[in-house]
Amino acid sequence: MVSFASDYIAGAHPLVLRRLMETNLEPLPGYGEDPYCAGAKEKIRAACGCPQAQVELLTGGTQTNQIVISTLLRDYQGVVAAKTGHVSTHEAGAIEYAGHKVLELPQRDGKLDAEVLEEFVRGFYADENHEHMVFPGMVYISHPTEFGTLYTKAELEGLSRVCRKYDMPLYLDGARLGYGLMSREAELTLEDIARLCHVFYIGGTKVGALCGEAVVFTGHNRPAHFVNAVKKRGALLAKGRLLGVQFDALFTDGLYFELSRRAIETAEELKTILREKGVAFYLESPTNQQFVILDDQRAEELKKQVAFSFWEKRGPNQTVARFCTSWSTTREDLELLRSVL
């Protein structure tokens, strides 16, 4: 059985795991105070071209969204997100658990539009007459989005402009950031993102690590006593080295980008195979997630030999399915898919 079910089906990239082994017996302080965490942060700052950035390492994506959003929002504020945003739909209410509303806006291909955003927030900032409504206090986007799509440079600049105008932090969820950066259609570099966003995270879990996400606060805007806030949310890892060593490895010699590039290559090949076999695409995705439309019967057949994700029903007889590649996808996987199709 070959699997395209997700981009977290394998463990860590072998080079990452090797570094965990090599450092395993070194006695190190806990809670992220070790030199590998320090090194990882320094390398991430350099990769972002943002020497003043404050970098924090956390364990998972929903955890990261919950912590970043709930520590940056003020009491009376909520976070604006696309109706299809991960925080809106697939985090089991983690933002609400932290006491804040997700203010859901319409989206296009998973993306939030600067004009739609400004139209929504303008009134709140124009007058004080919204005391019974949740005030939009920051903006959440993901890149790539939940549909694998990418913001253009102009689009992100537009959102950034609106956010700066109203002094709302712009937060970019980069659970799959590597795949967004290395896409053939990528317009945005890591430096661009560090320049245009107030905070974002570089996903490790889906790009080569066993676990781990690196949050980058780009403007000296890390909330005070951040470690307390992380601990209070049950999210402070005792052996912070687990995160430090992995991100140190990922940001040594460009491994993070190289991993991502390979997943894009296999994704492009996947697209070619799917197209050749007459499979219809649900939308155009330039990254490692591909959404296709399958007749229910074909989906049932395929499932016996290939693992993929059910996305949603589409009409009475069709299914939207998701196929993912990752750094662990091999030529053999692709050939097997081709032969099965």
**Nearer to a second copy among residue 27 and residue 316 (C-beta):** 27
Give the Cα separation of 339 and 44 in Å (integer). 41
Instruction: Show the beta-strand stretches assigned E in 120-198.
Output: 135-142, 170-174
**Nearer to a second copy among residue 154 and residue 238 (C-beta):** 238
Residue 219 near residue 163, CB atoms below 8 Å: no
**Nearer to a second copy among residue 103 and residue 264 (C-beta):** 103
**Nearer to a second copy among residue 241 and residue 271 (C-beta):** 241
Residue 94 CB, nearest distance to a second copy (Å)?
5
Q: What type of residue sits at position 233?
A: R
DSSP conformation letters of 177-214: HHHHHSSTT----HHHHHHH-SEEEEE-TTTT-SS-EE
Residue 199 CB, nearest distance to a second copy (Å)?
16
**Nearer to a second copy among residue 158 and residue 262 (C-beta):** 262
Residue 317 CB, nearest distance to a second copy (Å)?
18
Residue 195 CB, nearest distance to a second copy (Å)?
28
Residue 198 CB, nearest distance to a second copy (Å)?
18
Give the Cα separation of 269 and 182 in Å (integer). 15
**Nearer to a second copy among residue 67 and residue 121 (C-beta):** 67
Helix (H) or strand (E) holding 67: helix 61-72
DSSP conformation letters of 248-309: HHHTSTTHHHHHHHHHHHHHHHHHHHHHHTTPEESS---SSEEEEEEEHHHHHHHHTTEE-E
Residue 187 CB, nearest distance to a second copy (Å)?
28
3-state secondary structure of 79: strand
How many whole angstroms from its chain centre is CA 81? Answer: 14
